[in-house]
Structure 1
Amino acid sequence: MLEIVWTTSKRLTFQSSGEEIKTDDLHRKTENHLFKWIDEALIEEIRMVDSKHERVAQVITKFEERVMEKVKSEMPRVEHQMSEKLKEKGGLEIARVAHEMKHKLKIATVAMVVVGAIVGIWTSLSV
Structure 2
Amino acid sequence: MSTTNYYSSASSSAICFSPHGVPSKCWCGENITTFTSKTKENPYRRFYRCVIAMKRENEDHLFKWVDEALLQEIRMVEEKCKLVAQDVNALRMEVMGTMKLHNINFKKMEDAMSKKIMKTVGVASVILCSIVWLWGRV
User: Which TM-score band applies after superposition, normalised by the shorter structure?
Assistant: 0.5 to 0.7
Q: State the distance in 2 between where 1:46 and 1:121 align.
A: 102
**TM-score relative to the length of structure 2:** 0.49
- Render the CA deviation track for 1:53-82: whole Å, top value 9, x for unaligned: 545422321121102222344454333322
- AA at the equivalent of 2:70: A
* Structure 1 residues without counterparts, runs of 5 or longer: 1-41
Q: State the distance in 2 between where 1:116 and 1:66 align.
A: 74
Percent identity over the alignment?
13
What is the aligned length?
Answer: 84
Does the residue aligned with 2:5 lie in a helix, a strand or coil? helix
Superposition RMSD on alpha carbons, in Å?
Answer: 2.7
Alignment of 1:1-127 (within 5 A): 42-44=4-6, 46-47=34-35, 50-52=46-48, 53-125=66-138
- AA at the equivalent of 1:77: A
Higher relative CO (Cα under 8 Å, sequence separation at least 6) belongs to: 2
The structure in which a higher percent of residues are helix is 1
**Greater Rg by CA:** 1
**TM-score relative to the length of structure 1:** 0.52
